[in-house]
Amino acid sequence: MSSTRLRKLKKGFILNAYKDSYFIRQRMKYFLQVNDLYKVEEQKVRVNDNNFVGGKSEIQLSLRVSWKKEKNEFGDTILIVKIHKDGSVLESRIENAIPKLQTIFGPIISKSNSEKFYEVRLFLKQKDCRERINIMEEIEMDPEGFIQLSKYHKWNYISSPHLLLAGESGSGKSRVLYGIIYKFLGETTKDNLFICDGKGKGEDLYKLSKYTLNLPNVGGTDEEIFDYIKDVENLMDRRFAGTDSKTNPIFLVVDEFAALRISMDKKDFVEMNNSLRRIILMGRSANVHLLMALQRAETSVIDGAIRDNFAIRIGLQNLSVENFKMVFGISKDESILERERGQGYISIGGKMEQYESPIVVLPWDKEEDLL
């Protein structure tokens, strides 16, 4: 296991070193310095018998970090970091510093605290654990019965027919949504996709779905959204009646549901909400599937009978305590790590794990803007 400590302060670090071992060592020293995991002492210089002036500062004490690498079952490089305790005042700074490791190296997988050290496991490079999706590329229809949600997670929509995606502004929710819609094109025909954008026709989801992906059923007004949701309900009923084939799945996407509650006529909203209830309760038997994306999952936003029937739930970035409980049905405690944009948690069949979203390439992206 390699190790280092800070021996002198630097104004610049070589953080993109060619050799991997040097790359890690430099970043470890950078981590120690920027998080003040050291103590300096100013060296005094004697001028005469009675006078001293300040000299250069030298490091008196530094915490030690050690690390090793290993591969996981997917071939990703995992970095295991130990921040050693020394009984000094510096120990109190470790917990606040640990989240910075994922900015320097990559997403944190787990962390633990023992008598002698803190241990953090993380992906050495963020790109190692993230699939890349370019929605401008052609995708062929080749149904597999599942949607790849990340490198590690699949949505088996046959057994788990509906998905809830939650994330507050700036969490990366829209890109995850675009990536899933793009993957739908490999599972069904375009006329079996229904996209409802509660934010309106001027927003990216509407424009990407209608003009980039050329989908025919894209709604951006209250009237269009109401009609498309009723269309899906009617298609479901036709499948139950045996007048329509269940072979190809139907996917209904509803984004920013809260906006519809505010803008839509109250009577129409109640009717639409009842249709969504029927779809989420009965859709599986007709191969009809609902993907709902929203910022907050409180019952003031989404009907509890609808919210509680999503078998797969994704919560992005750092949901509030209340929102986390509404999305996942459990309390947020100290085991829930701080997450960055495009990261979060996923629950499949009640089992919750960390989630790393795909890197979704959009028509207007520059490389440095990608998640």
pLDDT surpasses 90 at 23 = no
Q: How many CB atoms lie within 10 A of CB 360?
A: 24
Q: Which residues share a beta bridge with 314?
A: 165, 346
What's the CATH superfamily of 130-369? P-loop containing nucleotide triphosphate hydrolases (3.40.50.300)
Give residue 370's pLDDT band: very low, low, confident or very high (50, 70, 90). Answer: low
pLDDT tens by residue, 112-163:
999 999 999 988 865 545 677 777 777 888 888 999 998 889 999 999 999 9
pLDDT tens by residue, 318-340:
888 888 999 998 888 766 777 77
Pick the range with the lowest mean pLDDT from 22-36, 85-99, 114-128: 114-128
pLDDT of residue 83: 96
| Domain residue ranges in the chain | 2-126, 130-369
Whose tokens are 């006078």? That residue is 51
What percentage of the chain carries pLDDT values higher than 70?
Answer: 88
Distance CA 250, CA 312 (A): 17
pLDDT tens by residue, 280-306:
999 999 999 999 999 988 887 788 889
Residues in Cβ contact with 73 at an 8 Å cutoff, skipping those fewer than 6 apart: none
Give residue 271's pLDDT band: very low, low, confident or very high (50, 70, 90). Answer: very high
Per-chain mean pLDDT for the chain: 86
**Cβ 346 vs Cβ 144: under 8 Å:** no
Give the Å distances, CA to CA, from 113 to 17, 68, 84, 126, 354.
30, 17, 10, 24, 19
pLDDT of residue 131: 72
Q: Where are the beta strands (DSSP E) in 64-192?
A: 64-71, 77-84, 108-113, 117-123, 132-134, 147-148, 154-155, 163-166
